[in-house]
Structure 1
Amino acid sequence: MDPYDVIIIGTGAGGGTLAHRLAPSGKKILLLERGGYLPREPENWDSREVFGRERYVTTERWYDRHGVAFRPHAQYFVGGSTKVYGGALFRLREREFQDVEHYGGVSPAWPISYADLEPYYTEAERLYLVHGQAGEDPTEPPRSRPFPYPAVSHEPRIQQLHDDLLRAGHQPFHLPLGVDLDESDPDAGRCVRCNRFDGFPCLTEGKADSHVVCVRPALKHPNVTLRTHARVHRLEANASGRSLRRVVVDRCGREEIYSADIVVVACGAANSAALLLRSVSDKHPNGLANSSDVVGRHYMAHLNSAVIAISKAPNDTKFQKTLGLNDYYWGAGDSDLPLGHIQMLGKSDRDILRAGAPWFAPGRALDYVARHAMDFWLTTEDLPDPHNRVTVDRQGNIHLAKIHHNAEAHKRLLAKLKDLLGPLGCHQTSIPRWSVLSEQIPLAGIAHQCGTVRFGTDPRQSALDVHCKAHDIDNLYVVDTSFFPSSGAVNPGLTAIANALRVGDHLLERLGAPSAARNATNGKFDRSDTTVPPHTTDVQESTP
C-alpha cells in the first residue's frame, strides 16, 4: 500500500479538527477511528438508556492505583467525546498561560502565550458555531473579534436566576456554546432547544461536534480516507529510532499496516499516552517520545462537582445550559487564591437523578426534586503531579493512578454556591449528583482529561516541542489535550480545537501547502457542507 502524507489517529476535538484543516491541501490523509458512527436512534434522547444503562459508554475496563477495575466514561465514535459533550467552549484565561499559585501548589506556565493562540481561538469559535456575548464574563481574556454568533438566550427561570445574581452584586454571563441555533429563524438551525443536550448524543445534529462540523466536510475531499473500527495497537519506528515507519492496526480482528510521512496521535489523554507507552522497541525501551519519562505522567482531570439546587418554584426550563459565573475564578473576599468556575448543566429528570444518585427512593420525593431541580457544574483547576499517571501492563491494559490536588479550593467553591442558594430562590440545601470522592465525579469521569504528553521547550521535562512534535521522533505529533502543561478551570475543548488549527498550519507549511488549506478553512460556516441523509452508515460516509 502506498504511504499516506498524514495519518491522524482519533477523530475527536483534536484529530477531527486537524483533518478539517488539512483536507483542502490535496495531501493524502488517512483518519483512523477505533469506533464506528454513533447511531442516530430514539435512544439518543432516552435518559434511561444514556445515563442509566450507559448505552454509548465503552465496556472496556481500566484499573485504578490499587489494581481495581473500573469502567471509564469514554465514548469511542467518529467525533470522539464531542458526540456527547455539553458544548461549552471556553478560551483559557490569559493568566493561565503563566505560573499561577493555588492552594494545592503552582500551575506551571505554557511555552506559548495566550497571544499565540488567540487567532486560533477566533477561528475555532467560528468553526464550532460558538454563541456568546463578549464583555459579560469578568475573567474573559482579550479577543480580536466578537463571538461569531449571538448568545443563546435564557429561558424564564434561568433569566430570573441571572437577574437575582445581578441584584446580589454578581456578574453572570451567557455560556459560550457550540450549537447550530438561529433564534431569529427557528428553521435555519438544527438545534430545537430541547432538554437532551448536555451528555446526550444529538438526534438532530444540532450540537457542534467534531464529526458534524469537521470530519464529515473533510471526507468530501477525495484525498481524505476514514477507516472506522480501526484500533491502533502500536507505532513502530525505523532502525534509527528517529522516525515512525509503521502504524499497526487491529481492524475488526485483522491486522492492518499503514505508513505515512507524518503520524498524528489524538486518542485522548489517557489513550494517547497508553499508545506511546505500548510502542516500545530497542531504541525506545520506555515507549515512544519518552526519553524524558514524562509520557503518561501529570494526568489531570478537573475537580468537578454536579450540584442540584432545589428551586422553591418549579423549574420548567428545557435548555438550561446557558448561564455561567466566574466571580470566584481568581478568588474571593476571603480567598486570595483561585477557586474556580460555575456553570449550568443540562436539565435533569427523574431518570438522570436515579442514574446519578441511586440512593434516591422512587416516588413523590424524586418527582419533586426533578420538577424543581436547578443543575450546576463546578470546576476547580487540577494540578499536574508526576505521580498522577497512565501506565500500561503487559497485556496493554490501562492503569490510571490519580490523587486529587487543590481540594481546598474546590471545597470553598462549593461553599460559595451553597451560600447563594437562598437568595437565588432555592432551598438552603444541595444534593450532589455523584456522592463519590467528596462530591466530585469519580475517577471514571475522564471528560476533562489532559496533560499526559506535555509540550515544552526542554526535552528533559517535556515530550513535545512547541509545535506538538515529539522531541524524540521527527514525524510524530500529538494534538489532543495530552499536550496541556496545566488544566486551567474551564472546559478544555476549545483549547484543543484551537491548538489543532495551530498545529495544522505548521503541518501545512511542513508539507509545502500552507495557503490552500488556510484560505479554504477561514470561510463562513456552510450548513449544507455537513448535510447527509439520516440513514448514513459507516460505508456511505467513508472514502473507499
Structure 2
Amino acid sequence: MSHPLAEIQWDAIVVGTGIGGGTIGRALAEAGHRVLFLEKGRGGHRSERNGLSEIFVPEARAARGLWPDPLHVTLNGQETAFYAPLGSGVGGSSAFYAATLERPERHDLDSSDSHPSGGWAVGFDAMLPWYEEAARVYRVYGTDDPLSPEPPLPLRNAPELGPVEKSLMDSFRAAGLHPYHAHTAIERLEGCENCLGVKCPKPCKMDGRSAGVEPAMATGNAEVLTEAEVIRIDADQTRVNGLMVRVDGKEHRFRAKRYILAGGALGSPRLLLASANENWPDGLANRSGLVGRNLMFHLNEMFALWPRDAIDGPATKAISLRDLYHAEGTHYGTIQAMGIRASYGEIVHYLNRMLAQSTLPGAKRLAPLSRIPAALAHRMLGSAQIFVGLMEDLPYPENRVTFDPDQPERLSVDYRYSSELLARRKAFRRAIKRAFKGHRRLFLGQQPDLNYGHPCGTLRFGTDPEKSVLNADCRAHDLTNLWVTDSSFMPTSMGVNPSLTIAANALRVASTFNEEPQ
C-alpha cells in the first residue's frame, strides 16, 4: 500500500531540512507552492536541548538528532572512521550549529587573479540582495566589520558586551586589530539560553527548523515526513521522474514537478552516485565526472587566548576579526571566538575526537586515559577563551565523496592535504602569532584539523557543463527539474562559515521558480 503523502503530486519535494532545504522550502511554501520535506532523521521533541556528543550507539545517536553512523575517511591514504559533527533530524546539522552567519567578501565570489577559482557563476553584486534578505529571515544581529567597504547587512542591535568580551575587544584594538561583534542568528526571546552548539528548545536560534521548516508548515502549504530515507532518484535522460523513499522499512515512490536536493555536501552527491542507471552509468547528473569531487572543508586553527586584564567570565562567541582574511596576498580566513571555555569537559571531548580520528595504531584505546591530560590542561589554561582561525580550503578534484554499491548507505570521503594547503597553514599560524603579539596565547594542536562540519563544493555550479555539475541557477545541467541548495554548489569554501551563503543562495534559487519547469 502506498504512503498517503506519496499519492500527492507535489509542486516541490525538498530532500533535507537544514539551512538550504529549510530556507527554500519556506520560500516556496510562502509563494503558494505545495512543498514536501523528506528528512532521513527523526522529528524529535521541540523541547530537546542536547548537543553534539561522542555517543557510539547508532540508535541513541538517531534519537538525539545526530548522524547515526561513522564517517569513513581515507586521509592521505590512511583509512579511519569517526562520528563527524553532522545532524540527522529536522533542521539537519544547523540544529546544532553556533548560529554564526557571516557574509563573505567580494573577492570570494568575483573573478580575480588572486583566487584560483576564477570566480563564481553569480557574482558578489548579484548576491548582495539575497544576503540582505537572508539576514532578515534569520534575524541576524551584530555590528559591521570595520574593514569592509561593502554596504552593511541589515543587522539587529547586538547585546551589550560582558566584561571579558569588552576587555578582549579593547586589547585587540590597542594591538591594531579590528574586532566586531560576530553576526549571530538568535531571536533572543524571553528566557533565551543562547543555545550555541546545541539544539534550541525554543524558537530562539534561527536554523533550518525554526527559520525554515516551521514557518513553511505554518503556511498550510507544506508537510514534513521524517524517518524517510531517499535511496534512489529515478530519471531518464532529461528529467527526474520520482524518488524511491524508504519509510518504515517499505519503499514508496514520491513524485513532484521539482526536486531539490539539500542533504548536505556529503549526502547529496552520494545520492546522485547511488542513482546510476542506463542513461547515467556514472551517476545521475554526472556527465562532467565531477559529482562528489572538489570536496572542501575549512581548516580549524584553534588557540587559547587570555584576556589582558586577567578577568574571568563565561565563554564568548561574540568576537570576530578579518584582519587576516586576505593578508599578505594569501587567502586565510576569519578569526572568531568559539563560544567555549577551556573547561575540563571540553578538553576531554576534543582529545577523544583527536584520538578517534588518529591513524596511529592503538590510538583509539587511549580514550579512557584522556581525562588525566585534560585535567592538567584545564589547570594550565584556566580562564583562557578559545578562538579559531577558520582557514579557507581550495578545490581539488581528487578530494571527493566516494560511493561503494556494495555499501550504499555508507558515508565516505577521500581527502589528501595538498602541499599548497600545508604551506598556507604554516603561514597562517605565523600571521596569527604576529597579529596577537602581546597577548598570552597557545595553539591547541600541531596537526592540520579539518572542520568536518563544513563540507562543501561537491556539486559545484558554473556556466560550463564540462567543468561543473549545476548551472548558475543551481539546476543540474542536463536535468530540467533537479536543483541543489545545500553547500554542494559552492566552487570555493571562502573564509567564513557557509550558513549565510547557503541561505542566501536558497532564496535566490527559489526566486527563479516563477515558471513551470520545462
- Normalised by the length of structure 2, the TM-score is 0.86
In structure 2, the CA distance between the partners of 1:26 and 1:408, relative to structure 1 (3 Å rule), is: same
Identify the residue that residue 382 of structure 1 maps to in structure 2: 393
What is the CA–CA distance in structure 2 between the aligned matches of 1:307 and 1:278, rounded to whole Å?
40
Runs of 4+ displaced beyond 6 Å = 45-50
How many residue pairs get aligned? The number is 482
Give the superposition deviation at 1:43: 5.8
**Distance in structure 2 (CA, Å) of the matches to 1:410 and 1:189:** 42
- Per-residue deviation at 1:254? 1.6
Partner-residue secondary structure (3-state), 1:291: coil
Tell me the SS of whatever aligns to 2:231.
strand
Alignment of 1:85 with 2:97, yes or no, is yes
Partner of 1:507: 513
Stretch moving more, 205-214 or 294-303: 205-214
Letter in 2 for 1:384: P
Q: Offset at 1:162?
A: 0.7
Amino acid at match of 1:372: S
Aligned counterpart in structure 2 of residue 233 of structure 1, from 231, 237, 253: 231
The one-letter amino acid of 1:30's match is: L
Alpha-carbon spacing, 1:390–1:382, altered in 2? closer, same or farther (3 Å)? same
Take 1:46 and 1:124, find their aligned partners in 2: how far apart are those partners?
26
| Contact 1:133 1:147 survives alignment (8 Å) | no
Whether 1:110 aligns to 2:110 is: no
Distance 1:462 1:211 in 2: 30
Q: Once the 2 structures are TM-superposed, how far is the Cα of residue 403 of structure 1 from its aligned partner?
A: 1.6
Contact 1:236 1:247 in 2 (8 A): yes
Q: Of the candidates 97, 100, 111, which is equivalent to residue 109 of structure 2?
A: 97
Q: CA deviation at 1:399?
A: 2.5
SS in 1 for 2:292: coil
Query: Which whole-Å CA distance do the structure 1 matches of 2:171 and 2:487 have between them?
Result: 36
Structure 2 gap ranges (5+): 1-6, 353-369
Q: What amino acid does structure 1 have at the position aligned with 2:396?
A: D
Q: Tell which deviates more after alignment, 4-13 or 315-324.
A: 315-324
Aligned Cα root-mean-square deviation (Å): 2.6
Instruction: Give SS of 1:123's match.
Output: helix
- Determine which of 410, 415, 419 is the counterpart of 2:430: 415
Residue 69 of structure 1 and its aligned partner are, at CA, apart by 3.3
Of 221, 224, 227 in structure 2, the residue corresponding to residue 223 of structure 1 is 221
1:178 pairs with 2:185: yes
Q: Distance in 2 between matches of 1:57 and 1:373?
A: 29
- Given the superposition, is the C-alpha separation of residues 7 and 141 from structure 1 closer, same or farther in structure 2, using an over 3 Å criterion? farther
What are the residue-to-residue correspondences of 1:298-377 with 2, within 5 Å?
298-310=294-306, 316-318=312-314, 320-331=316-327, 335-348=328-341, 349-358=343-352, 359=370, 361=372, 365-369=376-380, 371-377=382-388
**Structure 1: how far apart are the matches of 2:169 and 2:14?**
43
Aligned to 1:496, which of 493, 499, 502?
Answer: 502
Equivalent in the alignment of 2:135: 125
Which amino acid counterpart does residue 323 of structure 1 have in structure 2? I
One-letter code aligned to 1:113: G
Aligned equivalents of 1:48, 1:371: Cα separation in 2: 24
Confirm whether residue 142 of structure 1 aligns to residue 150 of structure 2.
yes
CA distance in 2, matches of 1:123, 1:486: 22
TM-superposed deviation, 1:481: 0.7
Residue 507 of structure 1 deviates from its aligned partner by 1.2
Would the alpha carbon gap of residues 356 and 39 (structure 1) be closer, same or farther in structure 2, given more than 3 Å must change?
A: farther
Instruction: Kindly indicate whether the alpha-carbon contact (under 8 Å) linking 1:154 and 1:320 is maintained by their aligned counterparts in 2.
Output: no
State the 1:213 CA deviation: 1.6
Q: Does 1:161 align with 2:168?
A: yes
Distance 1:262 1:30, change over 3 A: same
Question: Contact 2:95–2:208 (CA<8 Å) still a contact in 1?
Answer: yes
Shift of 1:255: 1.0
Quote the Cα distance in structure 1 between the aligned partners of 2:149 and 2:123: 12
> Once the two structures are superposed, what CA deviation does each residue of 1:344-363 show, in whole Å capped at 9, x if it has no partner?
01123321111112545268
Are residue 391 (structure 1) and residue 398 (structure 2) matched?
no
Partner of 1:60: 69
Q: Give the secondary structure class of the aligned counterpart of 2:466.
A: coil
Deviation per CA, 1:134-158: give whole Å up to 9, x if none. Answer: 2x341x3622x64230124321112
Q: Distance in 1 between matches of 2:48 and 2:41?
A: 20
Which aligned pairs between 1:399-478 and structure 2 lie closer than 5 A?
Answer: 399-405=412-418, 406-419=421-434, 423-424=438-439, 426=440, 428-432=441-445, 438-441=447-450, 445-478=451-484
Q: Deviations over 1:433-467 (max 9, x none)?
A: xx6xx1414xxx42111100111111111111111
Matched, 1:285 2:278: no
Q: Is 1:76 equivalent to 2:88 in the alignment?
A: yes
Offset from partner CA, 1:265-298 (integer Å, 9 cap, x none): 0000010000011001100111111101111000
How much does 1:500 deviate? 0.3
Structure 1 residue 258: Cα displacement: 0.3
Q: Which amino acid aligns with 2:250?
A: R
Change (3 A) 1:474 1:504: same
Where 2:475 maps in the other structure, the secondary structure is coil
Structure 1: tracts of 5 or more residues without a match: 182-187, 513-544
Task: Give the Cα separation in 2 of the matches to 1:310 and 1:430.
Answer: 12
User: Is the 1:346–1:375 contact (alpha carbons within 8 Å) kept by the matching residues of 2?
Assistant: yes
State the SS of the aligned residue for 1:409: helix
Matched with 1:199 is: 197
Tell me if the contact between 2:18 and 2:262 (Cα under 8 Å) persists in the aligned partners.
Answer: yes
Q: 1:40 to 1:5 in 2, by over 3 A?
A: closer
Q: Which amino acid aligns with 1:69?
A: A
CA 1:362–1:300 in 2, change beyond 3 Å: closer, same or farther?
closer
Deviation at 1:431, TM superposition (A): 2.6
1:365 Cα deviation after fit = 3.3
Alignment of 1:10-89 (within 5 A): 10-39=16-45, 44=50, 56-65=65-74, 66-89=78-101
The secondary structure found in structure 1 opposite 2:165 is helix
Q: Which moved more, 1:172-181 or 1:272-281?
A: 172-181
Deviations 1:461-501 (A, max 9, x none): 11111111111111000011100111111111100000000
Q: Separation in 1 of the partners of 2:374 and 2:338? A: 24
Matched to 1:478, the amino acid is V
Alpha-carbon deviations, 1:280-318, whole Å to 9, x = none? 110011111110111100001111223223557665433
- Equivalent position SS for 1:158: helix
Quick one: structure 1 residues 337 and 470, their matched pair in 2 at CA, closer, same or farther if it must change by over 3 Å? Answer: same
SS in 1 for 2:297: coil
